Amino acid sequence: MAAKIIDGKAIAQEIRQKIKEETAELKEKHGVVPGLVTILVGENPASVSYVKAKQRTAGDLGFYSVQENLPEDVSEEELLKLIDKYNKDEKIHGILVQLPLPKHIDERKILYAIDPRKDVDGFHPVNVGKMVIGEPCFLPCTPHGILVLLEKAGCEVSGAEVVVIGRSNIVGKPVANLLLQKRKPVGNATVTVCHTGTRDLVFHTKRADILIVAVGKPKVVTGDMVKEGVVVIDVGVNRIGTTPEGKAILCGDVDFDSVKEKASAITPVPGGVGPMTITMLMKNTLEAAKLWAGLPNEVS
């Protein structure tokens, strides 16, 4: 079977169009413009590129957006001060601190400092807790994007055997949690989470109806590890080299060429999960703006 390619870029574009329209309406009817600040510490090339894309998208959608660039050696105290400033800024509804942070900064302290009502990443423990018990909250962007991809791909999730590889706080843990919930239209799956302590990874990958791979290593899942007809969501974006023109060469955590021969559907890298992550950040920022304006919203 040759897999259907799940076009994350196109799906992201479709959702962005809706966000753009809603943003215009919010401005016209209520005089509210969604505001997003993205905070980047240092110059990690991947982070620079992701934050740039977030800023560009926010601009395209008609948001008010601010970019803060801090040097690699900025103190934790300086960063906390900046977060406090935006916690109080009425024009800003969403605060994003791009991860990873340099080692001398305590990531936990930073994420805890963001006002949960501006936590458009969904990383604050208040939002993580709400997510786990199924209350309205900011859903983390990558897992939320994966739910939308599965929905748009017409994938039957209820009752499916879902196998997640990776247990990070950003992807593995939250996506596993969301998929086991009785959520509609995507949820109610039987979920297995595999990680570095898993004894027999292939035993699990071979039983997956839906396989979500968020490991951060190139091509760890190959065609011989999956069953015929599986739906594969590849979360990895690995930089495996540069072209003569200096552009990064990207590949996923999945060996696309061998897996696509057996899968019924698969996300490509680039152009799969990545664009959805950015789109769901915009969605969260729009909802945050409605929340602050006292309007009906999806996060409270």
40: contact with ligand L34 by CB under 6 A:
no
Specify whether 227 is catalytic.
Answer: no
User: Which is closer to ligand L34, CB of 26 or CB of 111?
Assistant: 111
| Binding letters toward ligand L34, positions 166-185, x by CB under 6 A | --------------------
> What's the N-to-C CA distance of the chain in angstroms?
43
278: contact with ligand L34 by CB under 6 A:
yes
User: Taking the complex as a whole, how short is the minimal distance between the CB of residue 83 and ligand L34, in angstroms?
Assistant: 12
> Interacting stretch for ligand L34, rule CB under 6 A, among 28-36, 81-89, 148-156, 275-283?
275-283
Specify whether 247 is catalytic.
Answer: no
In single-letter form, the type of residue at position 185 comes to P
**Contact present, 202 and 193 (Cβ < 8 Å):** no
233: contact with ligand L34 by CB under 6 A:
no
C-alpha distances (whole Å) from 44 to each of 70, 169, 246, 282, 289 are 12, 20, 16, 22, 30
d(CA 81, CA 76): 9
Sequence-distant (6+) residues with CB within 8 A of 21 are none
143: contact with ligand L34 by CB under 6 A:
no
Can you tell me which of 40, 105, 114, 237 binds ligand L34, judged by CB under 6 A?
237
Query: Are β-strands 190-194 and 94-97 bridged in parallel, bridged antiparallel, or unpaired?
Result: unpaired
Q: Identify which of 60, 47, 57 has the alpha carbon closest to the alpha carbon of residue 68.
A: 47
86: contact with ligand L34 by CB under 6 A:
no
Can you tell me which of 1, 14, 25, 49 binds ligand L34, judged by CB under 6 A?
49
User: Taking the complex as a whole, how short is the minimal distance between the CB of residue 202 and ligand L34, in angstroms?
Assistant: 26
Q: What are phi and psi of 188, to 5 degrees?
A: 65, 30
The residues carrying an active-site annotation are 54, 98, 121
List of residues contacting ligand L34 (CB under 6 A): 49-50, 53, 96-99, 121, 141-142, 237, 248, 250, 269-271, 274-275, 277-278
